[in-house]
Structure 1
Amino acid sequence: MNDILPAADRLRFEEEARLYQEGARTEEEFRNARVPMGIYEQREHGVYMMRIRIPGGRMTAFQLMAVANAADLYGNGALHFTTRQDVQLHGLTVKSIVPALRALLKVGLHTRGGGGNTVRNITACTMCDLTGYAILNVYPFVRSLTQKLLLEPESYRLPRKLKIAFSACARDCPEGGFSDIGFMARWRDHRFGETLGFQVLVGGGLGARSAAAVELEPFVSPDEVYLVAAAIRSVYQQRGNSGDKNNSRLRFLVQSLGLDSFKRMYLAEKESLRDFLAWPIVPLEGRPQPVGDPSDIPAIRDPEMNTWASECVHEQTIAGFFAVTSPVSMGDITSASAGALAEWLWNSDLNEVRLTQQQNLLIPNVPGKRIPILYDFQKTAGIVRPAPPALSGMCVCAGAGTCQLGICRSKDVAAEIYKMKDNAYWRHPALRFLSIRFSGCMNQCARSTTAVLGFVGAARSLDGRSYPAYQVFWGGQSRGAHSSLAAPVGTVPARWITPLLDGFLDRLAAVLPRDADVARIIRTGRPILHACLAEFQQAPGYDTAPLFYRDWGADDQPFTTEDRGKGECSAGETSIAC
């Protein structure tokens, strides 16, 4: 994908970085140059995060190895996987940014459009070509749309960021129902039979005034995908509120105009673009035959391996091949572990790895006979960290530990919850469907209000002293056009999170049927959560419990929001040399 970063743009950014180091560019000028390139300053001045686009979450083992090497050479030696299938490197200095970018470009990876008012990474179902419940293999559309949009100047001059997702079935794993643009694969019946295509959703998004997406078109043919995206982008660019970033997201435009008015503008724009927008042919790919010989999984007698296999190994449609989830705690993995995994995959002729929306890794097309070998390798390398599904799927943003906008240290409270992994209630069969997400602030990078149980960082005060807290949300579900946001149910001091969760899950598991689905979990859990919150909503006084006025992971620092930085997400504009 090197063609997505033209040489002129790369050289221009390298020049801006050089001038900034020489003192010829101000902080603001450099920020405007680096943010559209996916480079953000962390909470510590002069320390940067680099966000690498991974369209559809798919990368080769060789690319994973290159990212691990870049993290080791230029960052803090760790990779962070996001809920939108990006990879972030942290701890870079201004001197290491350009060498890191060059190293990534050598293996076809880049960061362009990873921040700012741009079309962001396009996400997709991780298993869309592996399982029978997927209607369509959507990845070719992700790849082609990425290659088209990222070479167009219009994709970098938007009122705000634009997020696109492709869902292969009604499960809506990439959460098209909460995206700016959601393409939902579907069949359409007509007198000549059934036709594959997409339902188009528009106007979803999270953060301040979150909203679920609404239907824009019930069905479009596959060859209209680019036309649809370009027409929506064009209406957004022309009519979006670029002067007020708090009201500039696409969902606010849809709401202010009304869906009917927005749709009329969109359809008119779509027709005006139809005659001169050329969309590359995207074949309706099926499920490609994996490389290697299919085989059954050998009998497993090790109880620990058997538990791992039941939770992490998934049958594929093609018999004898399996997809294996490698849980990554809070999306963080060391460069050494990532590099070791990449090398093992490469040597085993398994040259692909996928990033999931739960911040984990998925290894597809593993022959059954290699499953025990893969487990032994990961255990030896320290990659396997057995955890119940609700924990291994728990999503966590970077939080106040590194993010300028973070209010609470979400990673630190999540680490405390991981310590509870041996509690019996996690093994309740139905609780594998309980999604839990922690965000350090209202921007919700962990997508908290789409989860069944979501937490969003906040600040509260008692007797003039501030303490870290979390707004609690319950009942979110992503189901395409039928998605529903979690509702706020209360606020809890950060130090009460662990006893709240422990008591709630213990009571829920005691009454929940073993075969309960998500809807049953939501109905059953709501009154229990309300009752538990009543016990833990009030913080004790400072004299009684001073630790409540310090966040998790910062026992020696009084809690404050005064060290929050300025949000950089909407900074800058990228010029395109096409």
Structure 2
Amino acid sequence: MQSFRTELEDLHNPVVEKEIIDLDKKIRLFQEGKIDETKFKSLRLARGVYGQRQPGVQMVRIKLPFGKINFKQIVRIADLSDEYASKKLHFTTRQDVQIHYVSLDKTPELWVKLAEDDITLREACGNTVRNVTASPNAGIDKDEPFDISPYAQAMFEFFVRNPICQDMGRKFKIAFSSSEKDTAFTFIHDLGFIPKVKFENGQEIRGFKVMLGGGLGAQPLMAHVIEEFLPEDQMIPLTESVIRVFDRYGERNNRNKARFKYLLQKLGLEDVLKLVAEERIANKSTSFHVNTKVFSEVQLSDVKIAPSVEISDKDLYEKWIKSNVYQQKQEDFYCVYVKVLTGDMPSEQARAFANALEGYVADDIRITQNQGLLLKYVRKENLPYVFEKLSELGLATPGFDSITDITTCPGTDTCNLGISNSTEMAKVLEDVLYKEYPELIYNHELKIKISGCMNSCGQHGLAEIGFHGSSIKVAGKIVPAVQVMLGGGSLGDGLGRASERVIKVPTKRAPQVLRALLNDFGANAQEEETFKAYYDRNGKDYFYQLLKPIADQSTLTEDEFIDWGQYEDFKTEIGVGECAGVVVDLVATLLYESEEKLVWAHESFDAKSWADSIYHSYNIYIGTAKALLLSKSITSNTQAGIIKEFDANFVASGEIVLPEGYANFADLVLQINKNQPTEEFAKSYLDIATLFYSEAKKIYAPQSIL
């Protein structure tokens, strides 16, 4: 423990030090039975610590804003995966890195060592603003109006640790695309931004097209366009207002209806935008100017000339050049995409990758949405060297982001919600493609994506050909199956479409499905016709009839009762998912949380962070009111509902007497969106919140408040 504390002090970052000490303290209190399990789960999720399918170990998710990582950080994560985890890095579709099989006791120590290289776990999971994603080629994209990387960085910095998004009803996802090609899939995000420019009086004005309310999961919905051109300085104020509305009005009990897209369904887009407008007065700033020079420009002299090498496989090199290498908008530089099978890279391979390439490309690698890596600023004369080093490591496979580059979640390897083994199926399908359809390594229009369940972590819902794990029952036995999804994908400039469920087939027949689809498309598609257009022209029933013979259950063999990569008959073993966090329903725990927020509100006030103090005070009102309502067995599924119920059950009855001047609890609490975040308002709002909490404790006085 002494060594852990010493390393913590060496960080010289009091904010991170405090967070890690708090995590360590809460772990011990939980193990001593002094913190409720559901409360503790919520706390650790917000710190990137996620329960695995395997009992007693954790998945740790490392949050990397828009997938930006350097060689030193790759080596650090690889070393720590050797020391604390399973000696493997997993790259995710949200541009994070995950490591698995970590002991809960070791997570504070692990976080300390990650923080030494400026890596955080903060809000990588839980009911928070998740990792801000972006087009990996931002900054080098020939089609981009401007580099969105600084804007994504500013978004990350503004909302990490921000009081308005620490305990929402569910997660909130934000994406930036570099151009109208929309390679970050803004249409499936809660908020998506596409850069735009216009000219006024000869001056270039930057802004964004804004998408709101998209999402995949079991019920995919495409985002709405709410701004064709939002000035750049309004990007963060708008986002803050949207998140405030989500926090107050979003569902909190039924996790299946708790995403922002369902709030839009419930209230309607027009009413939600009115609520967003009402929140603008309470924002930290009415205009936010992003430092666009936060990242330094790379020069040719910054990249070393690599040693000359002889190409070992000229045919493979040519395929790799055509499918994985692109010229940047910066003259004399190329970018190289690295295909990583199922997003999994052994730590030994990761270290070798860093040691071989550092100095010969920019020290700015990006994790891609299809679980690969992007190397930037490669000299033309360095391409043979880069190829040879990647080839030695098994990382020079051609076909990046083509149909042969299948995206997949971990499935039943580690996930509680996984139904079937998606990673092994992806490997089998890729093998079919490379052996039987080698010409498709150049097809970047047709994508295959796989998820182990319906929740779309593998993004099957936006693929031209998607599969998600399922099961069917035949003769009293459970057979692993996949739901075949067709016709999804990006349409560009914020538009997209979800794939449609067509048919369910035994999972071992997925290769037959793939062959049937590709053979039919190859034989019957019109010249230059895309798969989406081909699907539309023929219709869903055409593909159902095409695949129906493959789904025939009367011809099942014994092998088909066993999932990919397994040796025993299939069983559905679905645990409790943690992606959405938890609902805490203990009165004493809620009051304890309010007491913590009271401390945070005073700390923020003393630091002159008026907006933060105000929102902590707001949460004191909400949390305390929820606790008192719960003591009478009254529940509500939104914060707005809590305010209404508290007026009806405590204020109207006279059990709680409000300060003079306030007719009801709603008038008191909702001052928050009627006042600017000034020192005067912050003080009065906090003073009343303090009194309110004190009165609540008198009404509900459990023998022990944690």
Q: Deviation at 1:359?
A: 0.5
Instruction: Kindly indicate whether residue 16 of structure 2 is the aligned counterpart of residue 6 of structure 1.
Output: yes
SS at match of 1:390: coil
Structure 1 residues 59-94: Cα deviation after superposition (integer angstroms, max 9, x where no partner): 111111111111111110111111110110011122
Cα distance in 2, alignment partners of residues 492 and 161 from structure 1: 32
User: How far apart are 1:463 and its partner, in Å?
Assistant: 2.4
Q: Say which of 204, 228, 244 aligns to 1:218.
A: 228
Structure-to-structure mapping, 1:25-424, within 5 angstroms:
25=35, 27-188=37-198, 195-270=205-280, 272-273=281-282, 276=285, 279-283=288-292, 288-292=297-301, 302-348=314-360, 350-387=362-399, 389-424=401-436
Counterpart in 2 of 1:455? 467
Partner residue of 2:497 out of 466, 484, 492? 484
Given that 2:371 and 2:407 are in contact with CA atoms closer than 8 Å, whether structure 1 keeps it comes out as yes
Q: 1:56 to 1:293 in 2, by over 3 A?
A: closer
Moved more, 80-89 or 416-425: 416-425
Residue correspondence of structure 1 range 411-560 to structure 2 within 5 A: 411-428=423-440, 431-478=443-490, 479-512=492-525, 515-517=528-530, 519-520=532-533, 522-523=535-536, 529-540=543-554, 545-556=557-568, 558-560=569-571
CA distance in 2, matches of 1:249, 1:388: 32
Q: Which stretch has the larger CA shift, 492-501 or 348-357?
A: 348-357
Distance 1:123 1:275, change over 3 A: closer
Distance in 2 separating the partners of 1:2 and 1:386:
44
Contact 2:361 2:375 in 1 (8 A): no
Distance apart, 1:560 and its partner CA: 1.9
* Distance change >3 Å, CA 336–CA 446, structure 1 → 2: same
CA–CA distance in structure 1, aligned partners of residues 53 and 206 of structure 2 = 47
Give the deviation of 1:218 after TM superposition: 2.0
Aligned mates of 1:277, 1:265 — CA distance in 2: 16
Once the 2 structures are TM-superposed, how far is the Cα of residue 131 of structure 1 from its aligned partner? Answer: 2.0
- 1:181: how far off? 0.5
Whichever residue aligns with residue 539 of structure 1, its letter is Q
Q: CA deviation at 1:290?
A: 3.4
Query: Which residue of the partner structure matches residue 566 of structure 1?
Result: 576
Residue range with higher mean Cα deviation, 32-41 or 74-83: 32-41
SS at match of 2:377: strand
Question: Are 2:403 and 2:441, in contact at CA under 8 Å, matched by a contact in 1?
Answer: no
Partner of 2:206: helix, strand, or coil? Answer: strand
Q: In 1, distance between residues paired with 2:511 and 2:40?
A: 42
Structure 2 unpaired stretches of 5+? 1-10, 585-592, 605-706
Aligned-pair CA distance for 1:217: 1.9
Name which one, 1 or 2, has greater alpha-carbon Rg: 2
In 1, Cα distance between equivalents of 2:215 and 2:14? 26
Q: Which deviates the most, 452-461 or 343-352?
A: 343-352
Tell me how far 1:278 sits from its aligned partner: 6.3
Cα contact 1:329–1:392 (8 A) shared by 2: no
The Cα of 1:6 is off from its aligned counterpart by: 3.4
Q: Distance in 1 between matches of 2:136 and 2:428?
A: 29
Tell me which amino acid in the other structure corresponds to 2:431. Answer: K
Output the CA distance in 2 between the equivalents of 1:148 and 1:346: 31
Structure 1 residue 252: deviation in Å? 0.5
Indicate how the Cα distance of structure 1 residues 552 and 292 shifts in structure 2: closer, same or farther if over 3 A, else same: same
Task: Count matched residues.
Answer: 573
Q: Is the 8 A contact 1:129 1:286 kept in 2?
A: no
| Contact in 2 for aligned 1:388/1:421 (Cα 8 Å) | no
Write the letter of the residue equivalent to 1:87.
V
What is the rounded CA distance, in whole Å, between the counterparts of 1:357 and 1:427 in structure 2?
23
Deviations 1:132-184 (A, max 9, x none): 11122111011111111113111212111000001121111111111001111
- Give the whole-Å Cα distance in 2 for the aligned partners of 1:285 and 1:34: 31
User: Cα distance 1:345–1:37, how it changes in 2: closer, same or farther (>3 A)?
Assistant: same
Letter in 2 for 1:486: S
Distance 1:346 1:193, change over 3 A: closer
Question: Which stretch of structure 1 is more off in the superposition, 93-102 or 285-294?
Answer: 285-294
1:433-472 CA-partner distances (Å, limit 9, x unpaired): 2111000111110111111111111122122222111111
CA spacing shift, 1:2–1:89, aligned 2, 3 Å: farther
User: 2:622 maps to what in 1?
Assistant: none
- Relative to structure 1, the CA distance from residue 2 to residue 496 in structure 2 (aligned partners, 3 Å threshold; closer, same or farther) is farther
Deviations 1:194-239 (A, max 9, x none): 5321011111011122100001222211111110110100111111
Partners in 1 of 2:441 and 2:394 — Cα distance?
A: 26
TM-score when normalising by structure 1: 0.92
Quote how far apart the aligned CAs of 1:340 are.
Answer: 1.1
Conserved in 1, the CA contact under 8 Å of 2:361 and 2:377? no
Contact kept? 1:4, 1:147, Cα under 8 Å: no
Residue type at the aligned position of 2:319: T
> Kindly, what percent of the aligned residue pairs are identical?
27
Whole-angstrom distance in 1 between the partners of 2:149 and 2:371 = 18
SS at match of 1:455: strand
CA contact (8 A) 2:399 2:442 kept: no
Deviation (angstroms), 1:524: 6.6
User: Aligned Cα RMSD in Å?
Assistant: 2.8
How far is the alpha carbon of 1:521 from its aligned partner? 5.3
Contact persistence 2:400–2:441 (CA under 8 A): no
Rounded Cα–Cα distance in structure 2 between residues aligned with 1:406 and 1:291: 46
Contact 1:199–1:219 (CA under 8 A) maintained in structure 2: yes
TM-score when normalising by structure 2: 0.76
Gaps of 5+ in 1: none
Shifted more, 47-56 versus 127-136: the winner is 127-136
C-alpha spacing 1:102/1:396, structure 2 compared with 1 (3 Å): same
> How many Å apart are 1:114 and its aligned residue?
1.1
- Aligned-pair distance for 1:243? 2.3
Secondary structure of 1:432's match? coil
Q: Pick 1 or 2: higher relative contact order, CA cutoff 8 A, min separation 6.
A: 1
Q: Could you tell me how far apart the structure 1 residues matched to 2:265 and 2:293 are?
A: 34
Q: Verify the 8 A CA contact 1:539 1:548 in the aligned structure 2.
A: no
Contact 1:429/1:515, CA 8 A, preserved across alignment: no
Q: Secondary structure at the match of 2:489?
A: coil
Aligned amino acid, residue 414 of structure 1: A
| Cα distance, 1:274–1:306 mapped onto 2, change above 3 Å | same
